[in-house]
Every structure is written in C-alpha cells, then in structure tokens.
C-alpha cells in the first residue's frame, strides 16, 4: 500500500514539473522564439546544437506542458479576432489551428469587429469557461477587454501588440523599427518622393508604423509631404482608394509604403489601372508578408511577421501560465519581443522617371 502511495506522489510530481519551451530557452541561453523556430523544423537557426543539447538534457518534448495540462482536465483556449485585414485573419486562424493540433485543446472562436461589442464578446468566452484567451491585433490593445478578463480570472496573451507596457503575457512586435528599416531601404534605392498609406486610425500599430517611416525620412533629411499621406483602413479597398488619390496628379510619389499587404495590393491595382508599371514607374511596399504578398504580380516587398511562430509562442506562454496558476503561483509578467524581417521581392526598383514627370 505504501509503495502505491509513493508511486502516486512521484506521478503527481512529474506532472507538476513539466519542462516548457521557456525552460529550454533559458538553459540554451537563447530566446523562446529561437527555440520555437528550431522545434518547427528550422535547423539553420543560430545555436542549433546548443538548443538540441538543452532539449536532451531537460527531456523536453514539444507541447509536453500542454498535453499534461490537457490530460488533467479539459483545456479551453479562446480567441477573439477582428483584424480588418482578411488575409492576416485567415493566416492567423490557420496558424492557430496548426499550433493547437498537438495540444488536444478545445478552441473557442469569437469574432469582434466593433468596439461596442468588446464586453459582450469577452463575456461569451468567460461564460463558455475559457481557461485562457489569445488576443491578436487590434484586440490586443483593448484595455477594456483585458480588465474584464482579469476580473474573471481568465489568463490572456496579447499577440502582435506594439505596447511596451503591455500587462500580463504578451508577444510584442517592433512596428516602429520595421517601418523605419523599410523606409531606409526605399531611400537607399534612390527614392525621395515617398507616399504613405496609413492603417486603421484606431489601432496603435498605425501610429507606430507611420512614426518609423517619418523618423527614417527625417534622419535622411527628407521631409514628409502631408499631401502624400493618405488614410486607409487596413483593407484592400481602402488601399486602392488611397493610392488613387496619390496617383491622380502629375506630381506623384515614386514609391508608396502601405501599412499592410492588403492595402499594398490595392495600391498595386490602382497603379495597373493607371497603366503604371511596377516597379519601373512606381515602387510599392507593404507590411506583414501574408500569402497575398506572393500571389499578386509583381510579388511584394514587405515586412515579415512570422504568424505561425507568433501563435506557437503565444500558445506555449498561455499554457505554461495556466499550469503555473493551477499550481497556486501568482500571476507573472512575461513579454517576448519578436524580430520582424524585411523581405525584398519584385515590387521595388530605383526611380528612373522622376525628372520626366
């Protein structure tokens, strides 16, 4: 009888001391994002040997924490989505399904496109018994939603937030730095007449991407022309209309930086309609690197957000925190900064017709 109790205690101890991706990252001295890429099959990441050694030493297996938690009871993960970009939303949902497949959790999906429905949508997930909730942009920056979930003791992770002061769990991206890098790239190609299409006016990333654009121009001694800054809504149609305004006069930009790929695709359509060749007559760049970027012609130079890795890291963080809370630990602050990368394709070239306009 005694030996049976000992076995039970050991089994419980093993279920509590689950090794997480974060533990592997700490052991290897790298970021959780790097470990996530390595586990996802990218053997070319830096310190791959060090990561593999940490995995072997710790006995880590991907999603082990999630599987142990799920086996102890039903694990419900909620998602509230409402990004105006149809392509980004589609990619995010597919990535979430792929990343959650090994967990065996129940996904609770709720769409919310209006701030007036924030409270009612959050309440639905609370009533459905969500253990944790993933909040991608723009919901990740809603203080109202976070407060509501906090009051209901539901754990949240903000995905894609630009806020450095984000509470709780967050996967942050550097919108400012990425937009600044893209603008420097356009300047290096010889562009000085740059137009910009803003994203949705109520989203934080809209401001950050424009500020990165403006900072790069200022550093190069180039002024922002306010008549070449047009409002968009992160949708294809809004990008098309904004680009039409930028291209309707002879005095037009030689390059357009759209705040996401949907609007860049709309700008490309507007250029084709005016019989402008891209990139010979006009360069166009976007942001996000959604599948749309490589299905339009010419393929789009853009900023890559690694959506699959973002969702994988968010799930890992969320499951780990749920486990910690169930063990009686206090809530903790954890923020991961994900690096965005510039992807150069066919939609950019040096301006060759500037003096001929």
How confident is the model at residue 1, as a pLDDT? Answer: 43
CA distances from 336 to 79, 145, 238 (A): 19, 21, 32
Task: Name the fold adopted by 73-161+307-339.
Answer: Rossmann fold (3.40.50)
CATH 1.10.260.40 fits 1-62, yes or no: yes
Superfamily holding 175-304+344-356: Response regulator (3.40.50.2300)
* Of 15, 130, 114, residue with least CA distance to 64: 15
Report the SS3 class of residue 161.
strand
C-alpha 262/C-alpha 276 separation (Å) is 19
Residue 128: other Cβ atoms inside 10 A: 12
C-alpha 315/C-alpha 144 separation (Å) is 22
How confident is the model at residue 11, as a pLDDT? Answer: 39
How confident is the model at residue 231, as a pLDDT? Answer: 98
Structural contact between residues 277 and 283, judged by C-beta atoms closer than 8 angstroms: no
In the chain, where are the structural domains located? 1-62, 73-161+307-339, 175-304+344-356
C-alpha 32/C-alpha 91 separation (Å) is 22
CA angle 120, 156, 20 (to 5 degrees): 155
Written as six digits, the tokens of 210 are 């424009």
How confident is the model at residue 338, as a pLDDT? Answer: 87
State which residues of the chain have pLDDT below 50.
Answer: 1-17, 72, 354-357
CA distances from 236 to 176, 210, 250, 286, 330 (A): 22, 18, 24, 12, 44
How confident is the model at residue 14, as a pLDDT? Answer: 36
CA angle 259, 265, 267 (to 5 degrees): 75
* Of 342, 327, 316, residue with least CA distance to 31: 316
- Classify burial at 238, counting beta carbons within 10 Å of its beta carbon; exposed 0-12, middle 13-18, buried 19 or more: buried
Same CATH fold assignment for domains 1-62 and 175-304+344-356: no
C-alpha 159/C-alpha 235 separation (Å) is 20
Helix residue spans in the chain (DSSP H):
2-16, 21-28, 32-39, 48-58, 64-71, 86-100, 118-127, 143-151, 175-188, 204-219, 236-247, 261-273, 307-326
Written as six digits, the tokens of 235 are 């949708």
How confident is the model at residue 66, as a pLDDT? Answer: 52
Written as six digits, the tokens of 199 are 């994203």
How confident is the model at residue 33, as a pLDDT? Answer: 62
How confident is the model at residue 44, as a pLDDT? Answer: 66
Structural contact between residues 197 and 259, judged by C-beta atoms closer than 8 angstroms: yes
Which element (helix H / strand E) includes 63? none
């Amino acid at each position: 009888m005694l030996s049976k109790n000992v076995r039970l205690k050991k089994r419980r101890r093993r279920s509590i001391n689950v090794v997480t991706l974060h533990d592997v990252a700490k052991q290897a001295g790298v970021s959780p994002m790097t470990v996530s890429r390595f586990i996802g099959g990218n053997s070319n990441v830096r310190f791959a040997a060090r990561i593999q050694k940490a995995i072997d030493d710790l006995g880590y297996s991907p999603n082990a924490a999630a599987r142990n938690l799920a086996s102890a009871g039903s694990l419900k993960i909620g998602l509230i989505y409402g990004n105006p970009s149809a392509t980004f939303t589609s990619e995010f949902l597919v990535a979430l399904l792929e990343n959650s497949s090994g967990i065996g959790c129940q996904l609770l999906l709720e769409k919310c496109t209006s701030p007036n429905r924030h409270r009612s949508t959050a309440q639905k997930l609370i009533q459905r018994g969500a253990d944790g909730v993933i909040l991608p942009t723009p919901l990740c920056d809603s203080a109202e939603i976070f407060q509501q979930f906090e009051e209901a003791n539901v754990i949240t992770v903000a995905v894609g937030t630009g806020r450095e002061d984000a509470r709780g769990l967050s996967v942050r991206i550097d919108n400012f730095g990425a937009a600044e890098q893209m603008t420097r790239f356009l300047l290096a190609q010889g562009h000085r007449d740059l137009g910009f299409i803003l994203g949705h006016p109520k989203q934080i990333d809209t401001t950050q991407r424009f500020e990165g654009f403006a900072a790069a121009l200022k550093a190069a001694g180039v002024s922002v022309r306010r008549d070449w800054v047009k409002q968009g809504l992160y949708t294809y149609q809004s990008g098309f209309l904004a680009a039409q305004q930028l291209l309707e006069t002879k005095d037009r930009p030689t390059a357009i930086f759209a705040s996401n790929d949907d609007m860049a695709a709309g700008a490309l359509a507007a250029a084709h309609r005016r019989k402008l060749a891209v990139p010979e007559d006009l360069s166009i760049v976007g942001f996000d690197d959604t599948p749309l970027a490589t299905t339009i012609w010419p393929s789009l130079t853009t900023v890559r957000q690694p959506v699959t890795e973002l969702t994988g890291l968010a799930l890992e963080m969320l499951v780990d925190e749920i486990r910690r809370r169930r063990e009686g630990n206090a809530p903790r602050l954890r923020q991961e900064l994900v690096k965005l990368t510039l992807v150069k394709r066919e939609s950019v070239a040096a301006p060759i017709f500037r003096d001929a306009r």
